[in-house]
Structure formats: C-alpha cells, structure tokens
Structure 1
C-alpha cells in the first residue's frame, strides 16, 4: 500500500531550460502539480529526498508536499530521469485527497517457481485498477509455484486488495506458463530463420575450404630428390 513521504517544497517562479539547469545544479528538482481544476502548481523539490521518496513509494508514489505551510497530497504521474547520470530531471504529480478514488496502473509480479521445463511469461506487465489514493497497491502478486505448462492467469483471476477494483478487461491474459523449448527445437527454429533470411550453409564450399592447401603445389613442402 502507498506509504506517503513528506517533502518540503518551494514555489517556483523561474521557468525555461536555463532555470531548470540552475535548479538541478543546486541538487533540486523542478516539479508540477496538476488537478482538481486548479492552475498547475510549479514547485522546486529537494533532489535527494525526492529521489528516496519516489524509490520507496514505487511507480505510484504518494507524497505529502508542504508548500508555504500548507500540505497537499500528490500522486506521482510521470518521472523524467537523466539516462546517463540517473538523476531526477522533472516530476509531474496529480493533486489528490484522502478517500478519493484514483485510476492507476499497478505492476504485476510473479512469485514462486513453476514446474520443471516450463517458461513463465508475463503477458501484461501492469493492470489498471481503481483504488483510494492513500491505499494504492505497490504491486499485484501472482503465484506460479508448481504451475504446469498450459496454466494461464487472466486479469479476473488476480487477487486484489480490499477496496481495489479491476479496470483492465477481465479476459486479459496476464501470465502464461508454457512448455520450454528443447535445444533441438531452438536449433530447428534458428535454421528456419536463417533459411527465411536467405542464409545458406554451403557444405561443399566449407569442405573445399578445409581441404584447401593440402594438395601439393600450394603451401606444401615437397622433399628434394637426390
């Protein structure tokens, strides 16, 4: 469930790329809070504290933002991270209230080990649910312990926390357990893919290449005759 963190925020009055760079150099993060029909609220958040809060809260982190002494519950909607430095670039939030229902995508996580020689595939990495803003599940677990090939878990089979309603189509395939391919099957598929791509192995050429240089006259050392 969501475990909100409290972050001291500042109202942001500078905008543009130059201002954003200055904010980041000061180890802070530009952010915007949308929602409830109000004008977007532009804020500056402490970089390290915000990173830890988002990491702890997961994909749908719920934060309490304190701005000029007033508290605002904010649900994380989009996080931009620098791909090289792995630092926060920008965060978008949506304003929420306690008891308010929100629609979010929740990650699906498998637990346990399926039967031997099977392959477990998560066909739907997330499912859409409706939940109270302060009780959003961090993930939805699906146990595949001992599952045999042919086992399928649909969205309707998921066990959701109390107060959470499934919005994803009930017939959506979430987890599929299939028979693992043998080495022979993999080799056959590879050969078929090579044939489709026009890659052919010329055994005669290979044999000729291996035998090249073995006949006298090219690369051979012929003993001198007395």
Structure 2
C-alpha cells in the first residue's frame, strides 16, 4: 500500500464555532489517537483528504510542524445531505505494527442459472494486518453457486500477511432463492364489469 502525503496544521481553537471556521477555510477538523498519547487536534486540507479516503484504510503520512506521522482513518463524519467531510478520527500507527481493520468484500463470477440473489451479510471483513500493508479489499468468487449456498469467513483466502479477526464461522455471503410472485388476473378479456346492472322499471 502506498502512502499519501498530506500537510496538516495543529488546531488551537475548539468547539462548533471553531469547527465551522475551519470548514469555511476548506479544511477538515481531525483528531489523532493512539499509542497512549494525548489526542492531537489538527486541520487537514479537505480536497486532499477526500481524495485519499477513496481508498479504504488508506495510509496517510501527515506532515505536522516539519514532522511526519503515519495515520489511518478510523471514523469519518460527513454532512448527511451534501456528503462533505465534517470530521475525521485518525489512528496513529507505526511501521511493523499490527492493526485490526475492516476491509471491503468484493465478489466476482456468475451465480448458477435461476435468478437467485446474492446477499452480503457482511460488507466488510475484520482482519489483522501490518499497518503499512493493509489490503484494500478481498475478492470472493461466487461462480456457479446455487440457492442455499453460503461463504463463511474461514472460506475466504486472505492476502499474505493478513489474519482473520472475527468468528471464522461468520456468514459473509449467502445465496437466496428468488421469490416469484404469482400475478392473478382480475378481469378476463371481454368480461363485463362486476357491478350488477339493474333494468329500469317500466313506466306506468
């Protein structure tokens, strides 16, 4: 995994008002945690951070006051309507250190004929990996699987250097039988309206 270098600034103002001013300056408030140190409050360029976060578990080299610090994203808060970054929690890591992260589960291949459905029970898989070699994703083949089949966590081949960090019998993907709904015709072609037609009474 390649590193993304971003220059950040230490924050000295806190609170909602300060956060709004930071965002108006096209920066994102962030907090760095880890290794038992006190949390470090920084401001990160919004556009650069947004591009970096397109890669899951991206490794970021933050340049702060002339010093570099390796971090990975742990929690990202976005505006629910516009999707803008509002706040990010970053975990400080070291080379050679093992970390537990969630990696996306991707699928490849075609299911057996029959119109069955593929259901992701888990969209991500918890794994333990070296901080500078975190897999971007894991790919699972569903080629030829039929309804009732399932793929467990222990069935997935992990990238070299990664180990499973969840119950090995956890269901990750399952194949569900297609539900066919019978459509009943309420009227046949040429059928008269269901409402009864009354004959007019003869005039006196």
TM over 0.5: yes
2:65 maps to which of 61, 64, 68 = 68
Partner of 2:79: 82
Paired residue for 1:134?
Answer: 132
Mapped pair 1:179 → 2:177: yes
Q: What TM-score, normalized by structure 2, do the two folds share? A: 0.88
Q: Which has the larger Rg?
A: 1
Report the CA distance between 1:179 and its aligned residue. 2.6
The within-5 A match list for 1:191-210 is 210=194
Instruction: Tell me how far 1:167 sits from its aligned partner.
Output: 1.4
- Displacement after TM superposition at 1:216 (Å): 5.0
Q: Which residue of 1 aligns with 2:22?
A: 23
Give the aligned CA root-mean-square deviation in angstroms. Answer: 2.2
Structure with the higher fraction of residues in helix conformation: 1
TM-score, normalisation: structure 1: 0.80
Report the equivalent of 2:157. Answer: 159
Q: 1:122-146 CA distances to partner (integer Å, 9 max, x unpaired)?
A: 1222221100111111211111012
Match of 1:107 among 104, 108, 125: 104
SS of structure 1 residue aligned to 2:168: coil
- Cα distance in 2, alignment partners of residues 33 and 215 from structure 1: 82
Unpaired runs of 5+ residues, structure 1, are 189-208
Measured in 2, the distance between the counterparts of 1:216 and 1:134 equals 88
Secondary structure of the corresponding residue to residue 163 of structure 1? coil
Query: Equivalents in 2 of 1:69, 1:131: separation in Å?
Result: 28
Structure 2 portions without partners, runs of 5+: 185-192
Other-structure match for 1:193: none
C-alpha distance in 1 between matches for 2:175 and 2:38: 48
1:210: Cα distance to partner?
4.4
Matched residue SS, 2:53:
helix
How far residue 89 of structure 1 moved from its aligned partner, in angstroms, is: 0.1
Rounded Cα–Cα distance in structure 2 between residues aligned with 1:133 and 1:44: 23
Aligned pair 1:45/2:29, yes or no?
Answer: no
